[in-house]
Amino acid sequence: MFSRKKAGILLIIVIALSLCAAVFDYEPVWQTVSSFRPWNLGLDLAGGSLLTYEIDLSKITPADRDSVVSGMRDVIEKRVNLFGVSEPKVYTETSGDASRLAVELAGIKDVNKAIQEIGATPFLDFREMEVTGTSTANFIPTELNGRYVQSAQVAFNQTTRAPEIDFSLNNEGATLFQDLTKRLVGKPLCIFIDGNFIIPDNPNDSCPTVQTEISGGKAVISGNFTLDRVRQIVERFNAGALPAPISLVNQQTVSADFGRDALNRAITAGIIGTLAVMLFMIAYYKKLGLFAAAALAMYVALTLAIFKILPVTMTLSGIAGFILSIGMAVDANVLVFERTKEELQKGLSHVSAIEEGFKRAWTSIRDSNISTMITAAVLYYLTSSFVRGFALTLFIGVVVSMFSAITITRTMLRVSMSRDDRKQARTQPQ
């Protein structure tokens, strides 16, 4: 028959396993209960698309390339946030002189629209005209481009009521614009979007002529615009004018069905692995193994709760990092139990053996976990994409495992002491 103590331990295990299964479950039951904090699933689990763009930095000076690439990421991130995609990821990859920008759109339904919208984000640049003959002219790029554009709005000419584009530049752009207009007074200054003249409604129009030096970074683009055309240009400016041209070089699509299948397989693997570890601990350490299994179940529930609260975007690699941290949590208990067995063999009482076992095991637990945390931190900051997900969940898991091994397991062992052991613990000096 079960004693009250054993029944209590078994109840703790059952409750912890139930919590574990509930947190792992991705089906509507758990989602309904925790709809206030749904899971954030990555591209490989929720399905979606990975778009890779090549950044053309040929006209950017080497000193400005880092800031241009950083600005590019910010602009595209702002753009994709308009799609309503859950946890979109935009990051850059650099290899030698080549730079690429990757966009992860998890759970997106209309990929073609996303590609169209991202590609439609304009590259704006200002060019001066050099006349080489009676009918021949070159357009010569200047340093001023969409990188310096702050905002734009629809306006109307006070005299003709024709639609115009008002735009403003940041401080650096205002200085460049003032120097440019000062040098080109009486000469044409052309504005291009994506390599096309900005007034396509009338291809016979010429570039506007600079009438005077313009200071303050505010200017007006006027011409034979239709209102729809003005609105389109303003919308694209405000969505973010790219500081350099981009081109789509690769597209990978993951179906939602494949993502769900991968998620179910990962959940199954996690549950089977966790239960196998629990059974091994119980079979090998008997009563101590019961405490380890209960602590492990609580560790799983606590860690996954932290993943939700932060929140952490879960990917297959992130789940792998979490499962690895489960093994490390058990490893800490193994060290404690082995040290406790050694102390019992020396003739120490149950209370003293447990306390000494934790004391002797702490140094090894601390050093191994800190080493893993350092490795995970390096992986997180020096890599990108899926590797970062693995590093993040591993780091959080290791931190929680230290707490679990030293606090949860230790507390349960102390509570399980017999009445005589508790009396002995009270009489021992602190």
Tens-of-pLDDT digits for all 430 residues of the chain? 445 555 455 545 555 555 554 444 444 444 454 555 677 788 888 888 888 999 888 877 788 788 778 877 877 877 777 666 656 788 888 777 788 888 888 877 777 877 777 766 566 788 888 766 555 567 788 888 777 888 888 999 888 888 988 888 889 889 999 999 999 888 888 877 767 776 544 444 567 778 888 888 888 887 777 888 888 777 766 665 666 788 889 888 877 777 778 788 888 888 888 888 888 888 888 888 888 888 888 898 889 888 888 888 888 888 889 988 988 888 888 888 888 888 888 888 777 888 888 888 889 899 989 999 999 999 988 876 678 889 999 999 999 988 887 788 888 777 776 554 655 555 555 4
Specify the CATH architecture of the domain 46-120.
2-Layer Sandwich (3.30)
Q: pLDDT value at position 24?
A: 47
Sign of CA dihedral 320, 322, 325, 326: negative
Quote the Cα angle for 38-42-44, to 5°.
Answer: 130
Res 212: pLDDT: 85
Q: How far apart are CA 231 and CA 294, in angstroms?
A: 62
Nearest Cα neighbor of 115 from 290, 2, 246, 9 is 246
Q: What is the pLDDT of the chain when averaged over all its residues?
A: 78
Predicted pLDDT at 2 = 45
Are 272 and 157 in contact by the 8 Å Cβ rule? The answer is no
Q: How far apart are CA 351 and CA 96, in angstroms?
A: 62
The domain locations on the chain are 4-41+255-427, 46-120, 124-239
Please tell me the distance from the alpha carbon of residue 47 to that of residue 41, in angstroms, as a whole number: 9
Widest pairwise Cα distance in the chain:
109
* 370/181 Cα distance (integer angstroms): 59
Distance CA 377, CA 321 (A): 13
Pick the CATH number of 4-41+255-427 from 3.40.50.920, 3.40.50.720, 1.10.260.40, 1.20.1640.10: 1.20.1640.10
Both structure tokens of 310:
């932060």
In what side-by-side order are the strands of the sheet with 48-55?
A: 89-95, 98-106, 48-55, 246-254
What is the pLDDT, as a whole number, of residue 392? 92
- Residue corresponding to tokens 């067995």: 341
Instruction: Tell me what pLDDT residue 17 has.
Output: 52
Residue 271 — φ and ψ, nearest 5°? -65, -45
The 3 state secondary structure assigned to the chain is CCCHHHHHHHHHHHHHHHHHHHHHCCCHHHHHHCCCCCCEECHHHHCEEEEEEEECCCCCCHHHHHHHHHHHHHHHHHHHHHHCCCCCEEEEEEECCEEEEEEEEECCCCHHHHHHHHHHCCEEEEEEEEECCCCCEEEEEEEEEHHHEEEEEEEECCCCCCEEEEEEECHHHHHHHHHHHHHCCCCEEEEEECCEECCCCCCCCCCCECCCCCCCCEEEECCCCCHHHHHHHHHHHHHCCECCCEEEEEEEEECHHHHHHHHHHHHHHHHHHHHHHHHHHHHHHCHHHHHHHHHHHHHHHHHHHHHHHCCCEECHHHHHHHHHHHHHHHHHHHHHHHHHHHHHHCCCCHHHHHHHHHHHHHHHHHHHHHHHHHHHHHHHHHCCCHHHHHHHHHHHHHHHHHHHHHHHHHHHHHHCCCHHHHHHHHHCCC
Q: CA-CA distance, 428 to 57, in Å (whole number)? A: 72
For residue 298, what are the β-bridge partners? Answer: none
Domain 124-239, classified CATH 3.90.930.12, yes or no: no
d(CA 297, CA 111): 40
> How far is Cα 50 from Cα 113, in angstroms, rounded to an integer?
14
**Is the pTM value of this prediction over 0.85?**
no
Supply the pLDDT for residue 1. Answer: 43
